[in-house]
Amino acid sequence: MLIGEVADRLDVPRHTIRFYEKQGLLPEPQRQGNGYRDYDPAVVDRVTFIRNSQAAGLTLSEIMSILSLRDAGEAPCTHVSSLLEHKLEGVQERLTDLAALEAELKQLIHEAKALDPANCTEAEICTIIPRT
List pLDDT tens digits, range 67-104.
999 999 999 999 999 999 999 999 999 999 999 999 99
Compute how many other C-beta atoms are within 10 angstroms of the C-beta atom of residue 104.
11
How do the domains of the chain map onto residue ranges? 1-75, 84-132
Which of 56, 64, 61 is closest to 81 using CA atoms? 56
User: For 109-126, what is the mean pLDDT?
Assistant: 83
Topology (CATH level 3) of domain 1-75: Multidrug-efflux Transporter Regulator; Chain: A; Domain 2 (1.10.1660)
Q: What are the DSSP E strand ranges found in 1-132?
A: 30-31, 37-38
- Taking only the tens place, the pLDDT of each residue in 29-45 is 999 999 899 999 999 99
Q: What is the residue-averaged pLDDT of the chain?
A: 93
Alpha carbons 16 and 14: distance in angstroms, whole number: 5
Beta-carbon contacts of 32 under 8 Å, excluding residues fewer than 6 positions away, are 38
Q: Residue 127 pLDDT > 90, yes or no?
A: no
Q: 116 pLDDT band (50/70/90 cuts)? A: confident
Range from 58-67, 70-79, 116-125 carrying the lowest mean pLDDT? 116-125
